[in-house]
């Protein structure tokens, strides 16, 4: 077997910690499959693999469920009841109905603590991943009238001790505009915008600051990690279809045995076990590859779920492939 740029590229995908927002390193498997064949049978296998993760959003009334759903949709996440993942939104405290909803969930769940700027206590443990967020700031749009009002508020501060005092106080900024600011940013967002404007921030810079404070990107990253197992299951389904196709199509057998395919499967499996809190050694020496192969072969033979057993096998197989090309004996 010849060692070339393809193998180096595959190993690079294994080392790379980078992910796009829609998923994980499973893209490597999809890209290899898409390049390898283009007939209808292969296209039918690729289509479900490439589908974006769909998210259902749940939560009690008043916690900002619609705002969080809007923020996710604006970020390009398909929000639908027919979903792969569930986002359960809570506000300042976890209620018994929140615990019941999470416990009864049939999908992987991410708990989003909306209105995190108002939370006085850390989020209570629910046994699932969680992430604080300020949903209003993730979807905030400042038109010219609101921007002018914010600039006026920097020159003549208003009473920001409470929503009522902000709206009711005497101020050159009209009451209706102050209400719009409150609806769009809340007091926390208004205060942060004013602080940025006092430092000569532009509208675009203020918007970027509000987005950072919203923590929407952290929510997206958590969803990407949570979706690793969904993508990996899709990949295993595709592998099963390709193995069946290999009976009559030699290209399928060839594809499944290629270096790039083996390493792409390994990279997708790494995402799953890392999302579960396990570490995978990324050293590239022959000894490291062999050590990794032995460790994950043993892991897959232990008391783990079927999906983690498959991950162990894929990581071991990929590590042995890398080992054989970095000085390991056959």
How many Å apart are CA 140 and CA 149, to the nearest integer? Answer: 15
Q: What integer pLDDT is reported at residue 326 of this predicted model?
A: 84
The domain limits of the chain are 5-52+227-324, 55-137+215-225, 139-214
Q: What integer pLDDT is reported at residue 319 of this predicted model?
A: 95
Q: What integer pLDDT is reported at residue 170 of this predicted model?
A: 92
Sheet holding 109-113, edge to edge: 55-59, 85-90, 109-113, 130-132
pTM of the model: 0.81
High-pLDDT (> 90) share of the chain, %? 73
* Cα→Cα distances 12→17, 25, 276, 287, Å: 10, 11, 22, 18
High-pLDDT (> 70) share of the chain, %? 89
> In terms of pLDDT, which residue wins out, 32 or 286?
286
* Cα→Cα distances 162→133, 165, 298, Å: 21, 5, 59
Q: Is 279 left (phi over 0), alpha (psi -120 to 50) or beta?
A: beta
What pLDDT digit, counting tens, does each position of 191-241 carry? 999 999 999 999 999 999 999 999 999 999 999 999 999 999 999 999 999
> In terms of pLDDT, which residue wins out, 329 or 123?
123
Q: What integer pLDDT is reported at residue 24 of this predicted model?
A: 56
What pLDDT digit, counting tens, does each position of 136-174 carry? 999 999 999 999 999 999 999 999 999 999 999 899 999
Question: In the structure, what pLDDT confidence band is assigned to residue 77 with cuts at 50, 70 and 90?
Answer: very high
């Amino acid at each position: 077997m010849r060692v070339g740029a393809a193998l180096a590229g595959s190993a690079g995908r294994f080392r790379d910690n980078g992910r796009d927002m829609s998923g994980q390193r499973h893209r490597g498997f999809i890209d290899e499959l898409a390049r390898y064949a283009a007939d209808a049978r292969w296209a039918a296998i690729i289509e479900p693999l490439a589908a974006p993760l769909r998210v259902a959003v749940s939560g009690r009334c008043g916690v900002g469920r619609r705002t969080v759903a809007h923020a996710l949709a604006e970020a390009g996440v398909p929000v639908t009841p027919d979903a792969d993942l569930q986002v359960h939104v809570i506000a300042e405290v976890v209620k018994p109905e929140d615990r019941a909803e999470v416990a009864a969930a049939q999908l992987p769940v991410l708990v989003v603590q909306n209105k995190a700027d108002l939370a006085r206590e850390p989020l209570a443990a629910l046994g699932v991943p969680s992430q604080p967020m300020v949903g209003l700031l993730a979807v905030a749009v400042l038109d010219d009238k609101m921007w002018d009002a914010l600039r006026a508020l920097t020159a003549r501060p208003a009473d920001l001790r409470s929503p009522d005092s902000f709206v009711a106080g005497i101020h050159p900024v009209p009451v209706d505009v102050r209400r719009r600011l409150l609806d769009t940013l809340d007091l926390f967002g208004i205060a942060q915008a004013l602080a940025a404007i006092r430092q000569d921030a532009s509208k675009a810079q203020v918007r970027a600051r509000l987005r950072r404070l919203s923590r929407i990107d952290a929510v997206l990253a958590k969803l990407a990690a949570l979706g690793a197992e969904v993508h990996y299951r899709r990949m295993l389904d595709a592998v099963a279809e390709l193995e069946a196709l290999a009976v009559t199509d030699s290209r399928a057998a060839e594809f499944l045995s290629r270096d790039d395919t083996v390493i792409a499967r390994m990279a997708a499996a790494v995402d799953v076990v890392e999302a579960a809190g396990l570490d995978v050694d990324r050293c590239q020496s022959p000894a490291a590859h062999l050590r990794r192969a032995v460790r994950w072969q043993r892991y897959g033979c232990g008391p783990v779920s079927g999906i983690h057993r498959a991950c162990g096998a894929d990581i071991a197989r990929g590590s042995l492939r890398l080992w054989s090309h970095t000085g390991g004996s056959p």
